[in-house]
Every structure is written in structure tokens, then in C-alpha cells.
Amino acid sequence: MVLAATPIGNVGDASSRLIELLSTADIVAAEDTRRLHRLVQNLNITVAGRIISYHEHNEATKTAELLEHVKAGKTLVMVTDAGMPSVSDPGFRLVEGAVAAGLTVTAVPGPSAVLTALALSGLPTDRFCFEGFLPRKSGERASRLAELDQERRTMVFFEAPHRLEPMLRAMHERFGAERQAAVCRELTKTYEEVIRGSLRELLEWAETQEVRGEIAVVVGGAPEKAPGQPEDHVAAVNELISQGIRLKEAVAAVAEDVRVSKRELYSAVLAAR
């Protein structure tokens, strides 16, 4: 079984391996068969094998059928509308089932909206996380952002055009006006656009635009906390102790989190008693 990345916008990004697999595979599982037909038409190739629709609404019923074909020795290629299958797209259940059945799974790597947006953002790339789409409801979205408030890695999100402004507003409120970010729109396409700046600047931009296309938002991680004095963190240690954690373990956990000396913090806790 092969997971094959497809172009995220520019058909010229299709790899020779992708073209060969689509032309020769016994079965092509496609998130949207119409998008697949447009792709192969643009590539000027023909899919010789059987095409099976495989998307989030039929994964539960189609996965077992597809795995049976793989068990029978057939070459199965999984493609989504754009990018790498299973990354915010169908494919995870298929991989999970194949692994459980002891079947071989490989990939034809290629275009990725996540990595392209990250690379173009101008934000740190050494450590990052992918958060996909935030919840649509404002309360749930605020809760998710609260969980990410102290995330120090660069964060990559996807968002729909009509929800971009409320998303940036919620981030502005939670992360602060000066947190650096980038809105990446229509990556690799004719009207590709990357807007970089603070969340305040990006929100002001979004308020005046009729944003269209596929969007990735990249947000810088939280700045490191200043270590402060050991005495400032006694309450945090006592809070852990009240939860049943031993003194030395509580001191070690807090000292690592706030970057102060364990010995000095331990002494400060004892002095406060």
C-alpha cells in the first residue's frame, strides 16, 4: 500500500513516482474521484486500475475492503485532494488497519501545505507542531487556544477563508497583539500570497480583505518566561504538594518549568514554612 502526495496547487509539482503509480496501480483510492480525474487529465495520463472513492464519510466501511485487496497482493495507492494523505486528510484509518494487519505501508512524498507554509512564514522552523483546524464554535476555539497559550514551538493551522478573521481575533485576544504570525494563501498557485506581521497587523489586514482560497496560518511560539526569583515559585510547589506530589519531586518539576535552581527553590520552600 502506498500513500502518495499530490500537488497542493501547481500540477507541475507532481513527482515522476506519483505519475508512474497512478498509471500502473491496481487500485487508486481517492478522496474525491472528480479531483483525481482532473489531476490525471492535467498530467496527460490514464489510470489503468480501479478507482475507489475513499473519504471521511465512508472510511469506516471502505477500509476493510481496501485492505483485503492489499492482502490479495494488489498495489493500492491512496491519494487525497492535495498533499499527503492522513495529514488533516483521510488515510489514517487505512494506515492504522494496514499496520494492525502486518501489511507493508510506504509513501511517495511530495507537496505539503504544512511544510510549505512553515518554510515561507519567516518564523522559527527548528521546532513546530501542526494543529489542523481550530473548532468552529467560539467557546471551543477559545479553550483550544488557551491550551496552546504557552506552546513554545511554532504552530501551523489550517482555516477556511470565511473563518479567518474570527480565528485571528481569537488568537489576538489569547496570544497577545504582538505575537508574530503569517497568513499563507493559495500556496504554489497563481495568486500565492504570504502576509507576515504581528497578530494585530494580520487582524487589521483580514478586516479589510475579502479573503479567498486555501489558507494556512503560522504562529510563533510563546516567548520563554523570565526565570524570576525562587521565592516567586513557592506557591506553585505547594500546589503540587497539595495534589499528593512529594516535596522533592514538586520542586524538581517547578524548577525545570521556570528555569530556577532546584537547591535554591527547595530552600525557599522550607524557609516559607
Looking up cell 507541475 gives: 12
Q: Are residues 6 and 20 in the same domain?
A: yes
Alpha helices in the chain (DSSP H): 16-24, 33-43, 59-71, 92-100, 113-121, 138-147, 164-175, 199-207, 234-242, 247-258, 262-272
Burial (0-12, 13-18, 19+ Cβ within 10 Å), 138: exposed
Maximum CA extent, the chain: 77
Q: Are residues 101 and 135 in the same domain?
A: no
- Establish if 225 belongs to a structural domain: no
- Establish if 14 belongs to a structural domain: yes
Count of domains for the chain: 3
Which pTM was predicted?
A: 0.81
Asked if the model's pLDDT at residue 150 lies above 70, the reply is: yes
d(CA 125, CA 127): 6
Looking up cell 487505512 gives: 94
Return the pLDDT at 227: 67
pLDDT, tens digit (0-9, with 9 covering 90-100), for 39-71: 999 999 999 999 999 998 999 899 999 999 999
Q: Are 261 and 255 in contact (CB under 8 A)?
A: yes
Q: Are residues 92 and 170 in the same domain?
A: no
- Domain extent, residue 240, equals 230-272
- Establish if 224 belongs to a structural domain: no
Q: Are residues 81 and 38 in the same domain?
A: yes
Q: Are residues 166 and 150 in the same domain?
A: yes
Q: Are 164 and 217 in contact (CB under 8 A)?
A: yes
